[in-house]
Structure 1
Amino acid sequence: HFSMSDHGGPGVYISTPKVTETSADVNIDYHLKNDTGKPSKLQLTTLIRDKEAKVLTEKSTSLSLPAFTDTVVTIAINNIRDFELWSPNTPNVYYVENSLMESGVLLDHITQPMGFRWFSFDASNGFFINGENVKLMGANRHQDRVPYGNALSNDMHRQDMQLLKEMGANFLRNAHYPQAEEILRSADEMGFVVWEETPLVNEVTISEAHTENAMLMVKEMIKQHYNHPSIFIWAYMNEIYWAHRFKPEEELPARNAYTLELTQQLENLVREMDPYRYTAIAMHNYPLYDESGIGAIPMIAGWNLYHGWYYDEYKDFGIFMDEQRAKYPERIHMISEYGAGSDTRLYSEKPEKFDFTVEEQINFTRSLMTQILERPYIAGATLWNLIDFSSERRVDATPHLNNKGLVTADRKPKDVYYLVQALLSEEPISVLGYPFRDQWVHAAENPSDTLVPVNMYAFSNEPSLCLYVNNKLWEKSEVVNGMAEWRLLLPAGKHLLSLKPNDFGSAKQVQTTLIPYGLGSDHLDIAVNIGCHYAFIDDRTNLYWLPEREYTPGSFGIIGGKQLYISNKVGTKEDILSVHEEDPLYQTMRVNPSEFRADVPNGIYEIELLMVDYVRRYRRFADVDREINYEPGRRVFDISVNDERVIKELDPGGTYGLNVPNRLRFTRTVSNGEGISIKFHPVKGEPILSGVRIRKVRY
């Protein structure tokens, strides 16, 4: 029988050492076992069919296997003709049927995929397949999904691949581990170039067992997936110096030497097992990769880069890559990761680095993709990540979830998905933005301010788009780098936006709400996200928390203090305990505010104040706290409403603990035109405030 003990592989390994447009040579290595106690005379039949089951070629070979032996037999089938080439645009998969027979009796049978293609990477011009220069663009993929974890059905795997295909992608990085067989079957059939890798991530362990395990993972990956025509790159390492800066200084020489030695061993192993594909590692923005020379070992240098997200500015991405190109002109460069996070509840007209707004994810992706596409020496790039995926140690706007996905954890496309689609797809695409948003709230800034501003955009690969509001032409806008944009001023109410008149397929209904100047509304409900520049829309109730604003007479807003920034990033991005659905509200705050004032008319109002004492340092990957940490006396303050002390000596970090939210609620009757004045009186340290809600009530 065909071997079933070859690192999980099929026991049949197909290679195409020579392929041209008109002819091809195929070599097949058969790992055969005779477990019986007698010699066997066998007939080995190799048959290659196309997807319609038409036979392309067939070969039979007579074999003799001694008793109790493992044997490797290589069969060469040369000068095959009349086949169709495999490429991302024409993914013609063939199937090799392999049969072992003895005296006319079938003993074993296995079918494996294959494709006819030749390819190469060039340091100046990128990737070539079948003589055609193709830019490889796509995404990384983790395979977990809410609420199934990693236990996905084949249909779910195929759905992910379909999302990629419809986005216009032709490149997939399976990161950071080999994934379900269905992913590779789909990649073969849909036309994806695949980078597959083993889970050697962040750091090494200096031990023989570690070396053996790293080598074993490579053997298993290559043996199990060798025959898939979609695989072009074997990778075996990701950000291996990530933990380097946290290690004791005295460990570094031995650790660095071991890392280089292991990298070379893995590189040699991959090239020995598969001389026809390319090798790669993924590196991050850290000087040791250059200093150590590790980037020269693999055939492809992959880069995980986040300029303008974690560090630097967007433009620094292109500067960095051009410097790498100048230093190593013979090196093949790819971008193995780039991406920004977004919480589909956060929106801003003035997005900024690391704020997790929908708009910032768009701006980051739009800039870096444009830079990648205009540099032919960057052979390809994969966005991080196709999906929002589980990451237990992670903090940020959605703790325990890495939200850099193009789609949500339950596979709903975000705005950025449609942007990428507009930049990559060859099919016509025109889609209005904000798939998760349908409301805009505006607080009037003066008595004549009666319209609600709405910044609307659409994603398209057309030259220009027209926007219609309630089936009337608003304005024509040029499409630039995948987007057309409009500034609307709409009265309060419901409006139908579309890209064509009476086109309900592209239409989007939006609700605009005006908070009047003077705040004279029987249904007044003001919710303000203090300490930040973005709105938070609670997707459970549609409650709209406005971005913070400074107080102006006749309206409402904050007075005094400053917004909290840690490591040049707005807010704490910590896991706020017990309020999983409201983390962004508490993560941002104003430190040392003196007053929040709202010039409301007379009436009865419910007032809510949100605050949390925070961890002082920025923790990108925070271990889940096993118990609440307390810092008593760090900040103690009183709160008064209209000069009446309602809270005395509040100590959030001492009484409740760090990252534990405080939500204070009380009712006040406003009379004599006094409005509402909420003041913060420091006793020790500085007061803090994360949110204010003022709602008119009736009894």
Structure 2
Amino acid sequence: MTRQCVFIFGICFSLVTNIVGQTAVEGRQKISFNSGWLFSKGDRDASLPDRATLGWQSVQFPHTWNDKDVLADGERGYYRGIGWYKKNFRLQPEEGKKYFLRFEGVNQEAEIFVNGKAAGKHIGGYSAFNIELTPFLDPSAEQYISVKVDNSFNENIPPLSADFTFSGGIYRPVHLITTGEQHFSMSDYGGPGVYVSTPRVTSQNADVHIEYHLENGNAYDQALTIETIIQKESSSALARKKTTVIVPALQNRTVEVICPDIGGFELWSPDNPAMYYVESHLFKSGELVDNLTQPFGFRWFHFDPEKGFFLNGENLKLMGANRHQDRIPYGNALSDDMHRQDMRLLKDMGANFLRTAHYPQATEILDNADQLGLLVWEEIPLVNEVTISREHDENAEMMLKEMIRQHYNHPSVIIWAYMNEIYWAHRFKPEEELPARNRATLALARKLEDLARELDPYRYTAMAMHNYPAYEETGLGDIPMIAGWNLYHGWYYGNHEDFGKFMDEQRLKYPRRIHFISEYGAGSDVRLYSEKPEKFDFTIEEQINFTRAITRQILDRPYIAGGALWNLIDFSSERRVDATSHINNKGLVTVDRKPKDAYYLVQAMLSEKPVSEWGYSFRQQWVHAAVSPSDTLVPVRMYAFSNQKTLSLYVNNRFSAESEVKDGMAEWLLCLPPGKHLLSLGQNSTYTPEKRIETTLIPFHLKDEPTLDIAMNLGVNYAFIDSRTGLYWIPEREHRSGSWGIIGGKQLYIGDKVGTKEDILAADEEDPLYQTMRVDPSEFRADVPDGTYEIELLMVDYVRKSRRFADEDKEITYEPGRRVFGISVNGRVVEQAIDMGGSYGLNVPYRLVFRHTVKDNAGLSIQFHPFKREPVVSAIRIRSVRY
């Protein structure tokens, strides 16, 4: 039995009838339009129809021209400019039909030409848009289309700057859509023209409102009938209704249909993402002229300043991650399967929340959020700063309208947001400009807040703020319904415990605010491992320490509605100068979608399903340099991630020890002989994962070692494991009598962070080796046996500022004569006077490789002689050779 609906017309004249007879016709057709395109980069006029293909590249969508030039290539910057796409196709236009192209995403300005005529434009790189082809089609059936795309910086188009790459191109799919002359709107900010709301939902019944936007492309008034069906997939309908209306010639009309008191449904939630659909059919004289199916779900929710978030009446901590639409080496041109893979990673992590930082994302992402049960914060790309201009504000408003219209029907979306760290660029602006910028930012925020609430009164609004006093001083943080916080205590500043103190102070100051942690995270390079992790060292262990500490503090505070880790996946940020150049590596998953240790930690802390996973996903080697002549075992700090109470460790099939699981982790300190070992876990369940490792001991005394290969990473406490060869660069050690190590000097710290974390030019795979260094060492000494040794010294002179981005570097910077030093081995001069800053330039590596023969039990002594300022050495390797 289905319920009847009542309907309300947003027009002056309406007519209600029941249509019985219907003729089976086509309705809407939607086909992919992604193949057979040609592409050429550069500014030219390619708008006219032609078959010239010389120099053009054959491509298919999705496509970006920045998939490769954002990688570590020794050059700063990537192409931001114009690219052209063209395609010829056959289409015989039929009378009574309308033809449209739907572009799901073009970054960031697009001009479309059909058969040489301008058909439309779009501004903004992250929303869909429709272009009508009908008036421009050639009756001969041979059609030509050209698209001019420009991703150049434009001060009036957000985002102006951000910590991600603004890849250009037609990077999401394109579809050819055919409808009748009367159809659901194709001009409503890219939205479907059918909008579903559930203003009242209980566990038993609900009211469903459907707002239809209709277009009549005919020169005469038309009587149309809308058939509305509410159902779950292909099951029987919960509600069904036919509604007839007159739409005047060449006009648009809005019709609202209300279906009250619907029952017999399941509530949508992360544990049970029950999806329902509104099927809408548009008839003219019994003939189907258009049809659409739109998703929705039955759920209700609210935020409470003291207790956080409630879904369907139950308190739910929103925990998950941010996600960028990026994958190396594909840029932002991802397939639907790639999008789906990312969403499955998030769900499998135990998450119930996604923030689509910092822009609307592909339809596939929202569809999967609906189907997997992930609640979504979606925002427009208003990042770091605003331009004080009317054009900028209008573009921002348009982006908000497009986002809300296009994704309105997704039950997963609960928050619309419109600014991210919008005062971030203040530090780089002249002081006298700031008052005007603050006023412009406040005025725009109020406009966007009012607009969002007008377009959607049922969802919450938010902005993401960073740890900066201007949000409080200007009152900007009071405007949205939710105060989002991007906080990095213990990574960029302070320590882990400062996070909780900061948030507790915010709660005391603003007890009625809804607080949400929109970002928190630490970077990691899967090649770096430390027994003594520290802030900003990019080791796997420090990412775990940060993630564990902040996640626990969020979970322990009921007033914090939720938290989103930054970021789900390592992503392209061409300006970045971290341990992995051109990449923001705060991801829980690598660029090629392999989970890091922190992913499994979060999974253990959030998931309700049994979890037991070994740590050190990317590591199989433990190399230890003996600290005394009696050392015969290799210490191995091992951990596993679990939501069980305890885990038992077995080594080579023998019980070793039991460990209590605390905040998702169990830990052991093992002492193992050199060799290969099998580790396994035991617990109440039958799940016993295994891990194979290999341990190596470098002896304290080297005199009895005929074959040596020692690689040491100076200036830091972490090991670097070369992913290409497996070569293990151990953390630095100071010399001990009768053994080997570095003498003199100290570790380099810039801005209280170890090393430079600069992009080392021409050394794309070894940045972490060069980024840390021993400053002012006097000697490296090793009591090695007589023989011939190959010696490698890795050195670099560096930019002495602490920075995250380096886009001001347009060319190599030279500083001749600033740092000059010499090198000798056992008294023999190897380099008289090295001037790296003058000869090679800052951040340009110098890898000195030479051979030396040790005689008469002299051992090996590499000495560093300062002439101007201190010597700097980043890594040393000594290797036995035959000659």
Alignment TM-score, normalising by the size of structure 2: 0.78
The residue aligned with 1:657 is: 841
Q: Deviations over 1:435-479 (max 9, x none)?
A: 100000011122210111100000000000011111111110000
The residue aligned with 1:513 is: 696
Q: How far off its partner does 1:505 sit?
A: 6.2
Q: Deviations over 1:51-75 (max 9, x none)?
A: 3433111111111112111101111
Q: State whether structure 2 residue 334 is matched by structure 1 residue 334.
A: no
The residue aligned with 2:763 is: 579
* Alignment length (residue pairs): 699
Q: How far off its partner does 1:504 sit?
A: 9.8
Contact 1:176 1:238 in 2 (8 A): yes
The residue aligned with 1:364 is: 546
Match of 2:807 among 617, 623, 627: 623
The residue aligned with 1:453 is: 635
Match of 1:594 among 747, 753, 778: 778
5 Å-filtered alignment, 1:659-698, equals: 659-698=843-882
The residue aligned with 2:620 is: 438
Q: Deviations over 1:573-616 (max 9, x none)?
A: 10000010000000000111100111111111111111000011
Distance 1:7 1:63 in 2: 23
Q: How far off its partner does 1:652 sit?
A: 0.9
Q: State whether structure 2 residue 496 is matched by structure 1 residue 292.
A: no
Distance 1:624 1:296 in 2: 35
- Counterpart amino acid of residue 694 in structure 2: Q
Match of 2:453 among 264, 268, 271: 271
Q: State whether structure 2 residue 319 is matched by structure 1 residue 137.
A: yes
The residue aligned with 2:173 is: none
> What SS does structure 1 have at the residue aligned with 2:424?
coil
Contact 1:612 1:660 in 2 (8 A): yes
Q: How far off its partner does 1:22 sit?
A: 0.9
The residue aligned with 1:561 is: 745
Q: How far off its partner does 1:189 sit?
A: 0.7
Contact 2:682 2:688 in 1 (8 A): no
- Counterpart amino acid of residue 240 in structure 1: I
5+ residue gaps, structure 2, are 1-182
Match of 2:442 among 255, 260, 270: 260
- Counterpart amino acid of residue 263 in structure 2: R
The residue aligned with 2:827 is: 643
Distance 1:509 1:76 in 2: 62
The residue aligned with 1:487 is: 669
Match of 1:29 among 211, 221, 228: 211
Q: Deviations over 1:596-655 (max 9, x none)?
A: 111111111111111000011112111163321111111111111011111101111111
The residue aligned with 2:147 is: none
Distance 1:379 1:320 in 2: 16
5+ residue gaps, structure 1, are none
The residue aligned with 1:50 is: 232
5 Å-filtered alignment, 1:539-558, equals: 539-558=723-742
Contact 1:393 1:624 in 2 (8 A): no
Q: How far off its partner does 1:259 sit?
A: 0.6
- Counterpart amino acid of residue 693 in structure 1: R
Q: How far off its partner does 1:11 sit?
A: 0.4
> What SS does structure 1 have at the residue aligned with 2:696?
strand
5 Å-filtered alignment, 1:332-481, equals: 332-481=514-663
Distance 2:233 2:306 in 1: 36
Q: State whether structure 2 residue 725 is matched by structure 1 residue 538.
A: no
Of residues 517-526 and 382-391 in structure 1, the stretch that sits farther from structure 2 once superposed is 517-526
Distance 2:790 2:809 in 1: 34
The residue aligned with 1:181 is: 363
Match of 2:289 among 90, 96, 107: 107
Distance 1:561 1:428 in 2: 49
> What SS does structure 2 have at the residue aligned with 1:245?
helix
- Counterpart amino acid of residue 858 in structure 2: E
- Counterpart amino acid of residue 573 in structure 1: K
Q: Deviations over 1:532-586 (max 9, x none)?
A: 1100000100000010111001221111111110000001110000010000000
- Counterpart amino acid of residue 321 in structure 1: M
Q: How far off its partner does 1:500 sit?
A: 3.6
- Counterpart amino acid of residue 180 in structure 1: A
Distance 1:65 1:655 in 2: 76
Alignment TM-score, normalising by the size of structure 1: 0.99
Name the Cα RMSD after superposition. 1.2
Q: Deviations over 1:22-75 (max 9, x none)?
A: 111111110001111112112111001103433111111111112111101111
- Counterpart amino acid of residue 416 in structure 2: W
5 Å-filtered alignment, 1:211-226, equals: 211-226=393-408
5 Å-filtered alignment, 1:599-618, equals: 599-618=783-802
Contact 2:713 2:874 in 1 (8 A): yes
Distance 2:812 2:250 in 1: 63
Q: How far off its partner does 1:522 sit?
A: 2.8
Distance 1:99 1:585 in 2: 63
Distance 2:548 2:234 in 1: 41
- Counterpart amino acid of residue 630 in structure 2: S
The residue aligned with 2:305 is: 123
